[in-house]
Structure 1
Amino acid sequence: MSDSNVRDELEAKRGRNRQRRLAGIKRWVEYVKTHAPEEWGEQQNRLVDSRLGSARRSDLDVEHRRRVERVGRDRSP
């Protein structure tokens, strides 16, 4: 397989992934528009908390870790 074919396949894969992500975002926007914040807010909080926790447990450099902690503090009530 030539480098050109590999690049084309990679670009196609990136395009498909991007389309899937956009479709997921659109579904979430529709869900948020059609459901009360009391229903989806807790789901979103669990997701964000999970991502922040994963970032904190990973092997990150100090500056990145500080940025994650700042974001976590900023979103806390």
Structure 2
Amino acid sequence: MKLVYFAWIRERIGLEEEEAELPDTISTVDDLLRWQQGRGEEYAAAFSEKETIRVALDQFHAEHSDPLNTVKEIAFFPPMTGG
């Protein structure tokens, strides 16, 4: 599965994107966010406030409760503000 990172999430992890094999126990966006927190120091820093992180599944905005099912790409980005 392709994982894509934006803004300060990318900066904290040090990667723009990566391929990852997810454990079978991960079935929702929230499961994935918790898994990311345990992948190392930089991931823990990037995902420490997981409730603020926005996620897109195959380029469609998703809720943290959404299932991953057959998703091929997951993007992580901070909340957006604008005017």
Tell me, yes or no, whether TM beats 0.5: no
- What's the TM-score once normalised by structure 2's chain length? 0.23
Q: Greater CA radius of gyration, 1 or 2?
A: 1
Higher relative contact order (CA 8 A, sep 6+): 2
Q: Which has the higher helix share?
A: 1
- What's the TM-score once normalised by structure 1's chain length? 0.24
Q: Which has the higher strand share?
A: 2
